């Protein structure tokens, strides 16, 4: 379970992402979209979607939210 203050920090970090990455991240982790659906929706390869999600998770972890 994520504490409310951590949720707010995660949302703040996500809002700093560029528009495409923000949409991809929200659709994947908040709405549960499949990577293949995201790839089609954004006209990107699966590996490009994976890389964008990986970078987003890395940014969040670097903010020391999840030890």
Q: What is the pLDDT of residues 5-43, one digit of tens each?
A: 777 888 899 999 999 999 999 999 999 999 999 999 999
Chain position carrying tokens 């809002």: 15
Residue-range domains of the chain with CATH: 4-62 (1.10.10.10)
Residue 63 has pLDDT above 70, yes or no: yes
pLDDT (0 to 100) of residue 5: 72
Contacts of 15 (CB under 8 A, 6+ apart): 22
**Cα(67)–Cα(61) distance, rounded to whole angstroms?**
8
pLDDT tier at 66, thresholds 50, 70, 90: low
């Amino acid at each position: 379970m994520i504490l409310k203050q951590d949720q707010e920090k995660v949302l703040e970090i996500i809002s700093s992402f560029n528009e495409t990455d923000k949409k991809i991240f929200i659709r994947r982790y908040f709405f549960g979209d499949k990577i293949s659906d995201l790839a089609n929706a954004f006209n990107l390869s699966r590996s490009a979607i994976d890389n964008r999600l990986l970078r987003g998770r890395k940014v969040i972890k670097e903010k020391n939210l999840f030890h």
